[in-house]
Amino acid sequence: MRWQLLSALTNGWLWVLAVLAGVVLVLASAPAWFAVLSAAAVLLGGAGVQGAVEWNRMKRERGIGRTPSPASVEGAARRAALRDPEAAALVSRAQAAAARAGAVRAQADETTTSLVAQAEVATTGAVDALTSLGQQVDRLGAALAGIRPDSLASERAAVAQQLDRDAAASPELVAERRRTVAGLDEQLAVHRRLVDQRTLVLERMRAGAVGLEGLAARLAEVGALAADPSSPVTGEDDLRALATEVEDLRQGLVEAEQAVRRSWGGPASPGLG
């Protein structure tokens, strides 16, 4: 606020208005001291109003003092609630990248603030999409926890051995043993599919987190060089392209999460698309 007030004091029109007010009072036979104080009051009052307007504008653009929205609070709670350690670690990497994007926004000048803000919003959305994928990893882990593949494999081997060695078994007994083997095979196949799906989702999360880190690094680079006229970086064009890339990454993560949900037969997460 102090810098906005000092900047407002350099406004030539405020000085003209203050001097005009003083001259009018002097011509109206007001005491000189009153005319000077009135002119000063006009100058300082106008500067205060202009400084407050500039300060509020800057707060809106950079988010200074902004109360976290319910959606951002909910997103933070969901990220903190992830149980799978690998998924939680990947989301933490994405959060760190989003924090770097936020730092770039805080340091951006007036010409690039809006473009950096677009990239930051998309970055936050990408973190939320990664969190939703992490929740899917938690669900996959919970499903895997209910299956004991070693025990199932041992039981299947024992029943298969009985089928091979018990030549005197009745047809009914053989049929039941084969049904048992088929049921055990089905459970083992479910376990393999769940393991494969969990691995795939984690790799998608890893690719997303790494991509977000790279985009955040490039955003910091462009933001730092955009104001340098001798830099080969073309400021606004590069920022706009980066904002688009981050949004594309976010959308890709959202689609991946929705695909996982569809494979489970559940609804897609609301508010992410």
- Report the distance separating Cα 5 and Cα 2, nearest Å: 5
Whether 74 has a pLDDT exceeding 70, the answer reads no
Confidence at 18, pLDDT banded by 50, 70, 90: low
| Range 234-241 average pLDDT | 65
Q: What is the number of other CB atoms lying within 10 angstroms of the CB of residue 167?
A: 7
| Model pLDDT for residues 159-211, shown as the tens digit of each residue | 999 999 998 889 999 999 999 999 999 999 999 999 999 999 999 999 989 98
Query: What's the confidence (pLDDT) of residue 70?
Result: 44
Taking alpha carbons only, the member of 78, 107, 112, 117 closest to residue 95 is: 78
Residue 205 and residue 92 in contact, taking contact as beta carbons nearer than 8 Å: no
Query: What is the pLDDT averaged over residues 23-37?
Result: 73
User: Across residues 236-246, what is the average pLDDT?
Assistant: 71
